[in-house]
Amino acid sequence: MLFKNILKRNKILSTRVFSSATAVDYDFAEKPNIAELNLANPGKLTMTNLCGSIKDAMDTAMETDDSTLLFGEDVKFGGVFRCSVGLVEKYGNDRVFNTPLCEQGIAGFAIGTTVSGSTTIAEMQFADYIFPAFDQLVGEAAKYRYRSGNEFNCGGLTIRTPCGAVGHGALYHSQSPEAYFAHAPGLVLVIPRGPIQAKGLLLSAIRSKDPVIFFEPKALYRMAEEEVPDEDYEIPLGKAEVMREGTDVTLVGYGMQLRKIILAAELAKKEGIS
C-alpha cells in the first residue's frame, strides 16, 4: 500500500511539473557577460544559432592561425549539419577537405598533422561512430606528451562531434559517449550549452595545449539562438560557472541537461526552494 501511494503521489507530481513548465515556453537565451568575455566591442553582436557560432569559431581560428586544418566526412560540403558551410571557399582545399568514412583513420591522421605542427580540427560526423577511434584517442593522443617526455604532443588537436538525441535518430544517432572519455587522463572534454558558450569554448579548445574532444549537442544546433559577439573571444576550459546563486539545493549539469535543470530550478522557486 505504501509503495502504491508513493507511485500515485509521484505520478501526480510529475504530471504537475511537466504541465507547468516546458522547454518550449521558456526562453533559454543568455546575454553576453561583457566583463567575463573581456569584449573590446560589446555592441557588435549577431543573432545566431549554435551551428552558426560553431562555424564562426572555426572561421576565426583559421583566419588567425594559418596552420589550422579542418577535415572530416563531408566537411568540405558543409558537413551533415552545415556547420562548415563556406569555409572551403574561403580557405581552400588544402586546409578544408573531406576524408574517407573511417573514424580510426580520421583520428590517426589528425594526430599526425598535429604532431607535425598543424592546429587540427577533425570532425567525427556522429559521436555514435567515434568508438573505432577510441584507441587512437585514448591510447595515442591522450598519452603522446607523457610517453615522449614532452618531446612531442597533441596539444593542437580538437575533435568535434555531434552528440545526443533529437527524437528521430534511433540507436546509432542518439548517443552521448562522453563518459567513456572522461576517465582518460590527457583528454579534455567540452560540451557547450548555447551559442555564446560554444564559440568561446571552441576557440579555447582549438588553442588549448591539450587534445580536446568537443561534443556538440545536435538538438541545440538550430534550437538554441543568442546574440553572439562578432569578435574573437575565449571562455576558459575547466572552470565551473555559477548560473544562479541559491541557498537550498545545488544542481550541476552540462550541455543540453542544463535546460532541464533551469526548468527544475524555476519550479522549485515556485515552491519556495532556492
Alpha carbon separation from 161 to 41, 99, 170, 173, 230 (Å, rounded): 31, 15, 17, 11, 24
User: Which residues participate in catalysis according to the annotation?
Assistant: 103, 173
Q: Give per-residue pLDDT as tens, 208-253.
A: 999 999 999 999 999 999 999 999 999 999 998 899 999 999 999 9
Residue 155, pLDDT above cutoff 50: yes
The pLDDT assigned to 169 comes to: 86
Residue 16, pLDDT above cutoff 80: no
Closest CA to 226 of 49, 33, 34, 56: 49
Residue 193 corresponds to which cell in the numbers above? 550549452
Q: In which residue are the cell numbers 541545440 written?
A: 220
**Cβ(254)–Cβ(191) below 8 Å:** yes
Q: 3-state DSSP call for residue 256? A: coil
**Cβ(148)–Cβ(186) below 8 Å:** no
The pLDDT assigned to 35 comes to: 87
Q: Give per-residue pLDDT as tens, 78-102.
A: 999 999 999 999 999 999 999 999 9
Closest CA to 160 of 197, 224, 205: 205
**Which residues make Cβ contacts (< 8 Å) with residue 27, sequence separation at least 6?**
none
**Cβ(71)–Cβ(92) below 8 Å:** no
- Please state the pTM of the whole predicted model: 0.91
Mean pLDDT over the full length of the chain: 92
**Cβ(157)–Cβ(194) below 8 Å:** no
Residue 62, pLDDT above cutoff 70: yes
Radius of gyration of the chain (CA): 20
Element spanning 229, H or E? strand 225-229
Taking the domains of the chain in order of start, what are their residue ranges?
Answer: 37-229, 240-274
Residue 168, pLDDT above cutoff 90: no
Q: What angle do CA 91, 95, 99 make, to 5 degrees?
A: 130
Q: Give per-residue pLDDT as tens, 121-130.
A: 999 999 999 9
How sure is the predictor about 22, in pLDDT bands with cuts at 50, 70 and 90? low
- For domain 37-229, is the CATH number 1.10.1740.10? no
The pLDDT assigned to 23 comes to: 66
CA distance 28 to 174: 22
